[in-house]
Chains A and B, each alone.
Chain A
């Protein structure tokens, strides 16, 4: 997982010693040290090799560093001058996976030659027989640890799934090398006769350990990944909370400023309430902003109601049952509903909240808008006033739906819009 890094470069943190995950040969110790000390990598490597010649002291130091110093993103710039990170399409930084360069191969060869010279330098007779097994063990351990580092690096670098085999193979090779080295020592110490028994015993011990520790390790890995998931969620929640808190503070400021205008205050409060609800109760918590174009009926109805509410300062309660994708006919129905809501807010808004109900049942979409205002007689509306007749009734009829206006039983007006939707589900 990559942590989101803001595009603006932050203050450089105090330099900590990391093993470099980039452009390294073995454990990235030299590169990390070089970065920490501000020296060229080659110098550090030369020093290590020199120490290595001195009775293998360098190897010890290097191994210590490798075990203790955490792997990190640090050290010096890669030789190719490529940036260590690239900003991905989602605006997050990713560390670029690298290809081994020629310089590295040369360096590795140099290291091997150095090792050869070092081994030749040993004039210890019998001890000489230990050298090769020890080297084998060293190589195995190095390989294995290198692999462990890679596993950690995979947290930053998105490795493709197809490369899953390679790390396993490398880890296994390391283990085999170590085993071979150990067996070598055993063989050299004792005799080859006992090898079979020793190997069996060793295998039994290994299997035993695997059985004991295996489940524990598996559980720990699961716990870790779960914990990571929780952390991501918590981070998301924190971001949402921050956003909401900001906008609530804005609204409160605005409310204080327009305290003498009750309509505006009510409007601001309602708008903020809507936003808060959208954040809190929207399924999956991923909020679409009101600004975005809705693509389902429920969203469209809610958005329309929100706009009318904002514009006229009359609360509109929306209840939606069922949902379906929008099509052209439903778009017309939403437009008609908008007109009805505007009328309800304008002429019936004093009677309390306007109640909007939308229901999708099979192929039929029904929307009702009711207010508790004084009501009005549709036949008494003068001919030249085209509002209701055209924008509501006419629009519905042209699109193959029906619209009914009537006085609600206990005062107020109700507009009922019905439409067959084209799409089938």
Chain B
């Protein structure tokens, strides 16, 4: 995602040129888990996902736009962009995208603030707006912060275009997307401590969930995890979603500590 060349039109649409190197990866690269549309080749891409980019760095927006915005190929349609919190809320409310790519660090209160002010849109029954956090940050409280704020996933900006498209589709279907690093943080946060769990259901990960997270942290794609554990990709997804739910609702003190650091509780 770092090889963004400037000069592409930032309005997206079919006119946007792809960037060399953003071609779909070969088979064997992290593909989609088989559910929904895959970003490759556009053969089965009937679905369109409407996306809003929120990032305060114009160059980065342009780069993402160039990598994923070619709707005919990727199935992703960038319908709006924003560079700060107020703009983001306005654009998201106006365009009602399915997925928002949200930068964690934003002028005007950060990604968390956008999430807070879009709560009603996220909770919408018919057409919920879903958020995928995108950041260069490695700070645990940032990552855990946006997840607790309601984002359905977290990826770093070094992600390849193919994987990003894949993640966008996953999130649009209501699944969760964890980067290896996020999986590591979650394992850390739920590590066995002496503190008794406040809520048995929320404060503990099951053995299976732990295994899935461990494999994500080791760099496995969902499909690979499914093979490894002899379960279906759907099951992997439901495990990850369960972890996400725990992450958002648990009152474990490590999580609360991270959350209070970002004043989220």
Asked whether A20 is an interface residue with its Cβ less than 8 Å from the other chain, the reply is no
| Given known contacts A277-B138, A409-B224, A410-B221, A352 and B184 CB-to-CB distance under 8 angstroms | no
Q: How far is the CB of A334 from chain B (nearest CB, A)?
A: 18
Report yes or no: A357 in contact with B217, Cβ–Cβ below 8 A.
yes
Report yes or no: A321 in contact with B219, Cβ–Cβ below 8 A.
no
| Given known contacts A408-B224, A409-B224, A321 and B188 CB-to-CB distance under 8 angstroms | yes
Asked whether A359 is an interface residue with its Cβ less than 8 Å from the other chain, the reply is yes
Which residues of chain A (321-355) have a CB below 8 Å from chain B? 321-322, 351-353, 355
Q: Mark B136-150, 1 if CB is under 8 A from A, else 0.
A: 011100000000000
Asked whether B228 is an interface residue with its Cβ less than 8 Å from the other chain, the reply is yes
Q: Mark A41-64, 1 if CB is under 8 A from B, else 0.
A: 000000000000000000000000
Bound Cα distance from A322 to B224, whole angstroms = 25
Asked whether A421 is an interface residue with its Cβ less than 8 Å from the other chain, the reply is no
Q: How far is the CB of B43 from chain A (nearest CB, A)?
A: 20
Report yes or no: B29 in contact with A352, Cβ–Cβ below 8 A.
yes
B263 proximity list for chain A (CB < 8 A): none
Report yes or no: B217 in contact with A319, Cβ–Cβ below 8 A.
yes
Asked whether B20 is an interface residue with its Cβ less than 8 Å from the other chain, the reply is no
Which of A319, A372, A408, A410 is close to B184, meaning CB atoms less than 8 Å apart? Answer: A319
Report yes or no: B224 in contact with A281, Cβ–Cβ below 8 A.
no
Q: How far is the CB of A280 from chain B (nearest CB, A)?
A: 7
Total B residues in contact with A, Cβ cutoff 8 Å? 24
Report yes or no: B217 in contact with A409, Cβ–Cβ below 8 A.
no
Report yes or no: A370 in contact with B221, Cβ–Cβ below 8 A.
no
| Given known contacts A281-B137, A357-B180, A409 and B227 CB-to-CB distance under 8 angstroms | yes
Report yes or no: A372 in contact with B139, Cβ–Cβ below 8 A.
no
Report yes or no: A370 in contact with B184, Cβ–Cβ below 8 A.
no
Q: Mark A114-157, 1 if CB is under 8 A from B, else 0.
A: 00000000000000000000000000000000000000000000
Report yes or no: B139 in contact with A359, Cβ–Cβ below 8 A.
no
Q: Mark B187-228, 1 if CB is under 8 A from A, else 0.
A: 110010000000000000000000000100111110110011
Asked whether B183 is an interface residue with its Cβ less than 8 Å from the other chain, the reply is yes
Bound Cα distance from A368 to B183, whole angstroms = 15
Which of B158, B187, B223 is close to A321, meaning CB atoms less than 8 Å apart? Answer: B187
A372 proximity list for chain B (CB < 8 A): 28-29
Asked whether B61 is an interface residue with its Cβ less than 8 Å from the other chain, the reply is no
Q: How far is the CB of A298 from chain B (nearest CB, A)?
A: 10
Closest to B191 in A: A322
Residue of B29, B219, B221, B224 most packed against chain A (CB within 10 A): B219
Chain A interface size, under 10 / 10 to 19 / 20 to 34 / 35 or more = 20 to 34
Report yes or no: B219 in contact with A355, Cβ–Cβ below 8 A.
yes
| Given known contacts A280-B139, A372-B28, A409-B227, A321 and B180 CB-to-CB distance under 8 angstroms | no
A357 proximity list for chain B (CB < 8 A): 180, 184, 214, 217-219
Q: How far is the CB of A243 from chain B (nearest CB, A)?
A: 19
Q: How far is the CB of A320 from chain B (nearest CB, A)?
A: 7
A370 proximity list for chain B (CB < 8 A): 218-219
Q: How far is the CB of B154 from chain A (nearest CB, A)?
A: 13
Bound Cα distance from A376 to B219, whole angstroms = 19
Q: Mark A276-292, 1 if CB is under 8 A from B, else 0.
A: 01001100000000000
Asked whether A317 is an interface residue with its Cβ less than 8 Å from the other chain, the reply is yes
5 A-B contacts, Cβ less than 8 Å apart?
A: A281-B138, A315-B158, A319-B180, A319-B218, A321-B217
Known: A277-B138, A315-B158, A319-B180. 18 other contacts (CB 8 A): A281-B139, A317-B219, A319-B181, A319-B183, A320-B184, A322-B188, A352-B160, A355-B180, A359-B217, A370-B218, A370-B219, A372-B29, A408-B224, A409-B223, A409-B224, A410-B28, A410-B223, A414-B218
